[in-house]
Amino acid sequence: MTTRTESAGRDARHPTGVVGDGPAIEATGLRCCYGDHVAVDGVDLAIAPGELFALLGTNGAGKTTTVETLEGHRTPDEGRVRVLGRDPARHRRALAGEVAQVLQESGFAGDLTVAETLRLWLRLHPRRQSYSDPLTEVDLRHRSDVRVARLSGGERRRLDLALALATGPRILFLDEPTTGMDPASRERTWRLLRRLADDGCTILLTTHYLEEAEELADRLAVMHRGRIAVTGTVAEVAATRRARIHCVPSSGAGRDLPPLAGDTTWDGPALTVRTRHLQADLHRLLDWADRTHVTLNRLNAAEASLREVFAAVQADRGEIEETS
Amino acid sequence: MTDTDTRFRRTPGWLVVAGNELRLIMRNKTVAVTATLVPLAMIVVMSLGDGDGSPGMAAMHLVMLLGFSVYATTTMALAHRRAAMFLKRLRASPVPSMGIVAGLACGPVLLFFAQSGLLAAGHAVAGDMPPRDPAVLAAAVVTGAVTCAALAFLTASFTNTPEAAQLTTMPGFMVLIGGMLWVLNTPADEVTAVQLAIPGGAVTQLARAGFTTPGEIAAVPGVWSPVLAAVVVSTVCCLLAARLFRWEPRS
């Protein structure tokens, strides 16, 4: 399993999404509309070669439209997209195979078996058959002779991934790849994606699972209402919200707290401090408690999590903009 | 054979799609029966009624087969593959867009060729008049298949679901049968360009020409006219469909 330290190393490698010869995937001022509805409204993205980038967002945030435009299935109404330096809609055939896609909906012929589906895909990509045994990679070898219509949702996602691997892509688009998978399959998929990224494959992943983004992504962006609300490494994104100290001081404690850098709020006996100086404020609070013989019950101090950032974006709170 | 077997490495993409489509048609019992037995059964019933083995009857049989086996089946196949997002997946492959459509149409067209062969054998067994010029009859079969496949491509552009194909193919069926009847009710040497331009008209004229004697063919305004008309109609259908066709379900 990749540790957070390793992730931090990857973060450092791609601080801006632009390395060497420029981004592998790029969108500039991307705007996509369905009639009067603006699904994507001025998205800018730059993903470096070998980077694993996660696109998060609420339902209807515009993630899938963004990814489908980058895949070449849609043409942008405004703005510019480039994949490996080419317009993906105009150069669909040239990019096929170099760019692999795991679509949100699988798009299989249910009457074909798993093995027949893979064989069909390989025959459609005669110049890009580089992966030795993709079915084994995704633990579907034992289901080779089963018709696709009989596969579970998770197995279909794994077959999707096997087809994507089969052509040895340089770019991999994954639209909610682990939806419907059991925990073991999800873990296996994460290991596989991590290995692909380590081998230099550029991956753009959309997901509803925040822990997936935290676990895998070099960088991420949270989309809301067609725009990117916040982007950066996991640490950078989490830092857009203040850390929190929560405790319930023992009875008898006054409310004459020491001067703190953060904002304090009381909810009955419970104290919450929101701060950008977690260590300093925590030290002052503990020191104050020692001096005044107050016990800080249920003490909890933590940096903001991706979940909190996501919730704030979803609720359209101002704190993201406050610091970004 | 392993998954990564490369024996077919050089097979063109459209041919891979075609082979796959044929496999899917034969594997789905409902589709297989609809595409093969139903039209043949209808032809047998029609022949039992007032079948006289005339060139007109052969043309009618041919148009019936084209309507069911090529036009309706291809329209349904395109709508079904789109609804299942299979077209979208194929679009992620290096196969050109027209190659995908051609491949998907090829399955029904190959079935139609097989049925046409069966039909010809049936006529021969029944002791009907053999065609005077099999090459012209073959031209009728090929141009009819191309026209109906192109018409199916166009019809699938505004067919949202496979079920809707039962409704959206009705106008096309009426045009095919109308074009056929109009030509059959017109003396061969008086058929106009407008009649030939209606799907069903050109194939009927060609089928009729295939059964006439060389001397009679001279009275028909050339075998190439209906072929040219079919090519023009097919091209127009394809150009229109290329503008209107959607590769994934309407969102």
**A8 in Cβ contact with A238 (< 8 Å):** no
Contact A124 B17 (CB under 8 A): yes
Instruction: Give the CATH number, domain containing residue A61.
Output: 3.40.50.300
Distances (CA, A) of B205 to B172, B175, B212: 18, 15, 11
pLDDT on residue B228? 86
User: What residues have CB less than 8 Å from B250, skipping those under 6 apart?
Assistant: B160
- Interatomic CA distance for residues A216 and A234, integer angstroms: 10
A238-256 pLDDT, tens digit per residue, is: 888 889 999 999 876 677 8
A19-30 pLDDT, tens digit per residue, is: 456 899 999 999
A122 closest CB neighbour out of B3, B28, B90 = B3
Provide the domain count of chain A.
2
Mean pLDDT of A316-322: 48
- Interatomic CA distance for residues A98 and A164, integer angstroms: 10
Residue A112's closest CA among B180, B81, B187? B81
Q: Which of A119, A147, A160, A174 is the best substitution to test chain B (most B C-beta atoms within 10 A)? A: A119
B4 closest CB neighbour out of A34, A122, A124 = A122
Q: Please list the residues that pair with A54 across neighbouring strands.
A: A205, A220
**A214 in Cβ contact with A306 (< 8 Å):** yes
Same domain for A270 and A202, yes or no, is no
Q: Does B10 touch chain A (CB under 8 A)?
A: yes
Q: What percent of chain A has pLDDT over 90?
A: 49
Same domain for A79 and A190, yes or no, is yes
Q: Is residue A196 part of a domain?
A: yes
Q: Is residue A251 part of a domain?
A: yes
Whether the predicted pLDDT of B49 surpasses 70: no
Same domain for A233 and A270, yes or no, is no
Q: What percent of chain A has pLDDT over 70?
A: 88
Lowest-confidence pick of A119-128, B115-124, B148-157: B115-124
**B130 in Cβ contact with B203 (< 8 Å):** no
- Strands of chain A, DSSP E: 25-34, 37-47, 52-57, 78-83, 99-102, 171-175, 202-206, 219-224, 227-232, 243-249, 263-267, 270-275, 296-302
- Interatomic CA distance for residues B131 and B101, integer angstroms: 32
pLDDT on residue B251? 62
**A227 in Cβ contact with A267 (< 8 Å):** no
- Interatomic CA distance for residues B105 and A150, integer angstroms: 27
pLDDT on residue A16? 44
Which DSSP symbol is given to A257?
P
A104-148 pLDDT, tens digit per residue, is: 887 888 899 999 999 999 999 876 666 578 899 898 999 999 999
Same domain for A250 and A178, yes or no, is no
Whether the predicted pLDDT of B170 surpasses 60: yes
A12 burial via Cβ count (<10 Å: 0-12, 13-18, 19+) = exposed
Q: Pick B43 or A261 by higher pLDDT.
A: A261
Whether the predicted pLDDT of A178 surpasses 70: yes
Q: How far is A95 from chain B (nearest CA, A)?
A: 8
Residue A223's pLDDT band (cuts 50, 70, 90): very high
pLDDT on residue A6? 38
Q: Which helix (H) or strand (E) element contains residue A322?
A: helix A319-323
Residue A321's pLDDT band (cuts 50, 70, 90): very low
pLDDT on residue A15? 44
Mean pLDDT of B226-249: 86
What DSSP line would sit under A200-236, residue for residue?
T-EEEEE-S-HHHHHHH-SEEEEEETTEEEEEE-HHH
Domain limits for position A223: 4-98+169-238
Cα B74 → chain centroid: 8
Same domain for A173 and A258, yes or no, is no
Q: How far is B12 from chain A (nearest CA, A)?
A: 8
Residue A83 in tokens:
């994949």
Residue A51 in tokens:
């980077």
pLDDT on residue A42? 92
| Domains of chain B, residue spans | 13-244
Q: Is residue A152 part of a domain?
A: no
Residue B214's pLDDT band (cuts 50, 70, 90): low
Q: Pick B46 or A154 by higher pLDDT.
A: A154
Q: Is residue A92 part of a domain?
A: yes
Q: How far is B90 from chain A (nearest CA, A)?
A: 9
Question: Which residues from A are below 8 Å from B251, CB to CB?
Answer: 34
Q: How far is A97 from chain B (nearest CA, A)?
A: 7
Mean pLDDT of B209-219: 58
Distances (CA, A) of B73 to A289, B32, B78, B103: 80, 10, 9, 13
Distances (CA, A) of B21 to B64, B73, B78: 22, 11, 10
Which DSSP symbol is given to B213?
-
As for the ipTM of the complex, it is: 0.80
Give the Cα-Cα-Cα angle B137, B35, B161 (nearest 5 degrees). Answer: 120
Contact B16 A97 (CB under 8 A): no
The terminus-to-terminus CA distance of chain A in angstroms comes to: 31
Contact A107 B89 (CB under 8 A): yes
Residue B19 in tokens:
């082979």
Same domain for A296 and A174, yes or no, is no
Same domain for A180 and A283, yes or no, is no
What is the gyration radius of the CA atoms in chain A, in angstroms? Answer: 23
- By C-alpha distance, the chain A residue nearest B83 is A107
Q: Is residue A323 part of a domain?
A: no
Place of tokens 């084209």: B66
Contact B95 A105 (CB under 8 A): no
pLDDT on residue A4? 36
Contact A119 B95 (CB under 8 A): no
Range 27-46 of B in CB contact (< 8 A) with A: 27-28
Question: Angle of helix B73-83 relative to helix B29-50, nearest 10 degrees?
Answer: 160
Average per-residue pLDDT in chain B?
A: 82
Q: Is residue A158 part of a domain?
A: no
Whether the predicted pLDDT of A317 surpasses 80: no
Q: Is residue A28 part of a domain?
A: yes
pLDDT on residue A25? 95
The terminus-to-terminus CA distance of chain B in angstroms comes to: 39
- Interatomic CA distance for residues B168 and A272, integer angstroms: 65
Lowest-confidence pick of A47-56, A178-187, B39-48: B39-48
Q: Please list the residues that pair with A297 across neighbouring strands.
A: A248
Q: Where are the alpha helices (DSSP H) in B126-212?
A: 134-157, 165-184, 193-197, 201-211
Whether the predicted pLDDT of B36 surpasses 60: yes
DSSP three-state, residue A263: strand
Contact A112 B23 (CB under 8 A): yes
Residue B34 in tokens:
């609809």
Q: Pick A277 or B61 by higher pLDDT.
A: A277
Neighbours of A153 (CB within 10 A): 11
Contact B93 A96 (CB under 8 A): yes
Place of tokens 């579907």: A140
* CA-CA-CA-CA dihedral for B108, B111, B112, B115, to nearest 10: -160
Neighbours of A126 (CB within 10 A): 17
pLDDT on residue B169? 93
**B198 in Cβ contact with B179 (< 8 Å):** yes
- By C-alpha distance, the chain A residue nearest B25 is A111
- By C-alpha distance, the chain B residue nearest A114 is B3
Same domain for A175 and A294, yes or no, is no
DSSP three-state, residue A133: coil
pLDDT on residue A14? 46
Same domain for A79 and A39, yes or no, is yes
Residue type, B124: A
pTM of the entire predicted model: 0.78
